[in-house]
Amino acid sequence: MELDQDLTALEPLGGFFALRTGAAPQGPLPTLARAYGDQSSGAGPGTEPAAGSAAEPGTQSDPITFRVEKVARTLRAPEARIAASVAHLGLAARLWSVTLGCAVLCDRVPDLDPALLHWDPGATAPDDLWLSEVRALPAHAASVADTVLVGHLEPLAAALRARHRIAAGLLRGNAASALAGAARQLEQWAVRHGRDGSALRTRALTAQLLGHPLLSATGTLTGTAFRRRSCCLYYRVPGGGVCGDCCFLRPPRSSARDASG
């Protein structure tokens, strides 16, 4: 299947996989390049909204902080770094889902250049993304890793760590966990629809990606099950517990909490 300009192959997969495309949205929504603080445009982390912008205050001036604060309020997180971790997981899951879905179903991936990918940090989950131009790239593991890990998750992690006391290993564990979760969803969809080849392709590509130097020390993949070596800190949210791939089998006692991140 070709990678068309509307990325229609992703639509049956659900909200985490779907990606809006075409002319840049009204608002304007910040690009992820600005959110990460890309200096190539001569701008810092975000810009002030244009006149008449419908965007919420703060979504352009510092989209990363805006998003973390929104997640913190929603979850009633007792620490900013918990909200930062959860926000990171959500965006990582969207980026992996889009790219993995296209790689498996179209044998091409869209170029998710952060300068082309717009983001609404005020949206509810799943993160609202809009790609202003669709350019096809190869779908092999190295290309997918460059697109998501190098192009997005490393600069996103750097932006979060510049603002919050959060460990690099935790964020790489989040990246791996988000990849494994997207792969499970994609494989389950493929099996339900009798697409055994797509299911096998999903497993093989995921295993290759988790072997990448940035992810190889993050956990263990067994079939479709992933067990990470770090904790995303979600158990510290009021009413939260451990995730299915957490290094902990049950929420640790308070004396162990500082070591978890």
Q: Residue 16 falls within a domain, yes or no?
A: yes
- Domain count for the chain, please give it: 1
Higher per-residue confidence, 116 vs 54: 116
pLDDT at 39 > cutoff 60: no
Structural domain boundaries, residue 72: 8-37+56-222
pLDDT mean over 201-226: 94
Residue 31: HSE in the Cβ half-sphere, 13 Å Cα cutoff: 20
Lookup: tokens for 120: 């609404």
3-state SS string for 134-154 = CCEECCCHHHHHHHHHHHHHH
pLDDT at 254: 52
Q: Residue 158 falls within a domain, yes or no?
A: yes
Q: Residue 260 falls within a domain, yes or no?
A: no
Q: Residue 259 falls within a domain, yes or no?
A: no
pLDDT at 59: 54
Determine contact, residues 126/94, Cβ cutoff 8 Å: yes
Q: Residue 197 falls within a domain, yes or no?
A: yes
pLDDT at 68: 95
Q: Residue 193 falls within a domain, yes or no?
A: yes
pTM check: above 0.85: yes
pLDDT mean over 234-252: 82
pLDDT at 223: 83
pLDDT mean over 176-182: 96
Buried-exposed string 139-178: b where 16+ CB fall within 10 A, e elsewhere: bebebbbebbbebbbbbbbebbbeebebbeebbbbbbbbb
Highest mean pLDDT among 14-18, 52-56, 138-142: 138-142
pLDDT mean over 125-140: 90
